[in-house]
Structure 1
Amino acid sequence: MGAFLDKPKTEKHTAHGQGNSLRFGLSSMQGWRVEMEDAHTAVLGLPRGLRSWSFFAVYDGHAGSRVATYCSDHLLHHITSNTNFKGLSDSLVDEAEELEKGEELHEPDEPEVESVLKGIHSGFLQIDERMRSISEVRSGSDRSGSTAVAMMVSPRRLYFINCGDSRAVLSRAGAVHFSTEDHKPCNPREKERIQNAGGSVMIQRVNGSLAVSRALGDFDYKSVDGKGPTEQLVSPEPDVCALERDDADEFAVLACDGIWDVMSNEELCDFVRSRLLVCDDLVKVCNQVVDTCLYKGSRDNMSVVLVAFPSAPRVSAEAVLKETELDRLLEEKVEEIVNKHTGEGIPDLIYIMRLLSSESIPNLPPGGWLPSKRTVIEAIYNRLNPTIKDEDPDDVGMDSS
């Protein structure tokens, strides 16, 4: 069977929530991969007095799901309970207990940025060391690893955390304001560390095998004598960036490379922004992202977390009208194509999609373009041809323009 299925598994796992002046939605799909190796975390209200803080993360596993799943269950605990983070939170815990008793109504002071950064850094190194003691890892039966991209939200700041090639982006005032940097073996800083550890970068992979230069787990690449944890062929050290929150912050997106393989930062933010103008359901928006990436040709597991801030775009009557008009136009075009071929037999959906992709259709969702309307087109097609069964999505690949 190899690494891919004959048909994609398109069932989605979703979740949503709101609190701390945030809303979030998430969606994940196994897609064409034989196994689902992604995992995620979404927590509103952190322990140790940080009830006004939140944490979101996506983990993209490889060579199995064990490490990704473990991280989704335990990384936040390792961050908030390690010595660095615990030391900065002691006073906050006392104040939080007072809040719970109704003795205080004020928000505890926010910890120093440097302490938070140290706590996050220590948490990553600690969980990586802890996972070495997992029985399957010790025995060698599990050699999995995982990237991790996360965002910790405090009342004043956004902490973007990245280890690997999953990615997070922040949209502010209608444009991409920040994105994390992928950790790839060919990056000069990463390549230097790999070579200093006695390794090499071949075909853009660590020792010609692993496509990421930083990850949790992957202990086969972390056994070079005389080198510390952050000096190994593959490092568990995260890059962390603290940004002051701004009233113009709209939303943040965290996603695995199954999303980024087929959409750029700008394309994804433009697409999400356009969807928020016609739909206030964040899960539905995330589902549309995943579906669009599938139809754009992604062959990987796909996971996306969307976090909306108070200034996120809101549903616009004008945008909804344009969307309705677009769907009506697509319906007319599909009907026209079908009617033209009535005497020749009903054309298949693949043919219709290819014809539509060659036309100039106004008001397609930016970033998603025609693939993002594939589900709508399929519904129209099935209504016109109820006895026709659609072909595999693998045959519907098309460019985004």
Structure 2
Amino acid sequence: MCVKDEIGEVSEETEKLLSCDATVGKSSSFDNRPMNRSVNTVAIDDVNPITDFVPIIRSGEWSDIGTRSYMEDTHICISDLAKKFGCRNLKGEAISFYGVFDGHGGKDAAHFVRDNLPMVIVEDSDFPLELEKVIVRSYLETDLQFAKTCSPPLTPTSGTTALSAMILGRSLLVANAGDCRAVLSQRGVAIEMSKDHKPSCANERKRIESLGGFIVDDAYLNGELAVTRALGDWGFEGLKDIDQPNGLLIAEPELKKIMLTKEDEFLLIGSDGIWDVFSNQNAVDFARRQLQEHNDATTCCKELVQEAMKRGAMDNLTIVMVCFHMDPPPARTVQRRRRTISTKGFHTLSDLLKEKVASPTSLE
């Protein structure tokens, strides 16, 4: 398992944080109340704006069937995994969990993963001390558990993409298998936190072809699926086999982990129906404007979905927004560039103006 740090762009400050053990602050619940701070006062000069940042978590979500006749998207938001499942949290801090699951071939796989993945995570013996290992194992274990249930009334060919985000203090861990996408707003700049696992992806194509698979029309794995990583899909012959875990279609997620700073404003997690009509930066810009207007995460998600439909989205639509501040994002300050002219240029312009005054037709 490898934690991917190269996906998207990150600031210099974030890159530095990725290589150090920074102090992790406590996160709050999703009831929109400010976090309780220590009663001890700290002098302003002693506060590090990066390592002493404490995210105040609030979230919103919205789904719509869109133009489809059936709904296969689903999602989940859990403020404290350990508390929800009665598990002792050795770190003593709330671990928040968000997930978006985009089903295909029916809703069975998406609903199964939504209902079981969080529990599999907290039941892992290394939870919560080694979250990266835990999340990868949990994706794979949940996939195998679903395989055991693939008999009527469940659909053997049902599958789902799965994207999850976990927040522990200032640590944000995103895990993705499929083509849902997570995008972080860092002072208004869109930072891609996941990579779409589509047949058109060069790395995925290379992996598949090395195993004897093939891509049709740069869009379909073995001519059957439009994604190269997913949970479920056990009914597709030649793509997955319980006895051969490293097949063409895999459930192993790719991870990206960063330490949040005060520059990180919110995270958007959406099914591919959103990203069919929004670029990463366009979605961040739209969401920022709406938050600045009303500062309500749920309303913002609803507006994103409605805007996607206006833009002609043809798929189910699901978006989850996780904000890291109570206040709305600040307005961007545009620094105007001062225009200067050289001494030589000034004299040249002056001579031309004098000539124009002396002979109005000389420059025509």
Q: TM-score scaled by structure 2?
A: 0.70
Equivalence for 1:30? 65
Equivalence for 1:118? 133
| Distance verdict in 2 for CA 1:248–1:141, change over 3 Å | closer
- Which of residues 151, 154, 174 is equivalent to 2:168? 154
Equivalence for 1:83? 125
Superposition pairs of residues 1-400 of structure 1, within 5 angstroms:
17-18=31-32, 21-47=56-82, 48=87, 49=89, 51-85=93-127, 89=128, 111=129, 115-136=130-151, 141-203=155-217, 204-221=219-236, 228-229=244-245, 231-310=246-325, 313-314=328-329
Question: Quick one: distance in 1 between partners of 2:104 and 2:63?
Answer: 16
Pairwise CA RMSD: 2.2
Contact residue 254 and residue 304 of structure 1 kept, 8 A: yes
- TM superposition shift of 1:60: 0.4
Question: Quick one: distance in 1 between partners of 2:181 and 2:192?
Answer: 11
User: What per-residue deviation string (whole Å, max 9, x for no partner) do you get for residues 11-50 of structure 1?
Assistant: xxxxx85467211010000011121001101000121316
SS at match of 1:278: helix
- TM superposition shift of 1:116: 1.2
What is the aligned residue count? 272
For CA contacts below 8 A with separation 6 or more, give which structure has more relative contact order.
Answer: 2
SS at match of 2:174: strand
SS at match of 1:32: coil
- TM superposition shift of 1:130: 0.6
SS at match of 1:84: coil
Question: Quick one: distance in 2 between partners of 1:32 and 1:301?
Answer: 7
| Distance verdict in 2 for CA 1:244–1:227, change over 3 Å | same
- TM superposition shift of 1:223: 5.7
AA aligned opposite 1:142: P
AA aligned opposite 1:150: S
More deviation in 290-299 or 172-181?
172-181
Contact residue 17 and residue 24 of structure 1 kept, 8 A: no
- Percentage identity across paired residues of the two chains: 33
- TM superposition shift of 1:312: 5.4
SS at match of 2:151: helix
User: What per-residue deviation string (whole Å, max 9, x for no partner) do you get for residues 354-377 of structure 1?
Assistant: xxxxxxxxxxxxxxxxxxxxxxxx
User: What per-residue deviation string (whole Å, max 9, x for no partner) do you get for residues 326-370 of structure 1?
Assistant: xxxxxxxxxxxxxxxxxxxxxxxxxxxxxxxxxxxxxxxxxxxxx
SS at match of 1:28: strand
Q: TM-score scaled by structure 1?
A: 0.64
Unpaired runs of 5+ residues, structure 2, are: 1-29, 36-55, 332-364
| Distance verdict in 2 for CA 1:17–1:301, change over 3 Å | farther
Question: Quick one: distance in 2 between partners of 1:244 and 1:24?
Answer: 19
Question: Quick one: distance in 2 between partners of 1:165 and 1:72?
Answer: 16
- TM superposition shift of 1:84: 3.1
| Distance verdict in 2 for CA 1:136–1:250, change over 3 Å | same
More deviation in 291-300 or 46-55?
46-55
AA aligned opposite 2:71: M
Question: Quick one: distance in 1 between partners of 2:112 and 2:233?
Answer: 13
- TM superposition shift of 1:315: 8.5
Contact residue 32 and residue 299 of structure 1 kept, 8 A: yes
- TM superposition shift of 1:248: 1.4
Question: Quick one: distance in 2 between partners of 1:312 and 1:177?
Answer: 20
Question: Quick one: distance in 2 between partners of 1:195 and 1:140?
Answer: 31
User: What per-residue deviation string (whole Å, max 9, x for no partner) do you get for residues 251-293 of structure 1?
Assistant: 0000000000000000000000000010122111111100000
AA aligned opposite 1:66: D
AA aligned opposite 1:262: V
Higher-Rg structure is 2
AA aligned opposite 2:244: G
User: What per-residue deviation string (whole Å, max 9, x for no partner) do you get for residues 50-75 of structure 1?
Assistant: 65210111000011000101111111
More deviation in 211-220 or 252-261?
211-220
Question: Quick one: distance in 2 between partners of 1:72 and 1:51?
Answer: 23
Contact residue 75 and residue 99 of structure 2 kept, 8 A: yes
Contact residue 32 and residue 326 of structure 2 kept, 8 A: no
- TM superposition shift of 1:220: 3.0
Contact residue 305 and residue 317 of structure 2 kept, 8 A: yes
AA aligned opposite 1:148: A
SS at match of 1:128: helix
SS at match of 2:148: coil
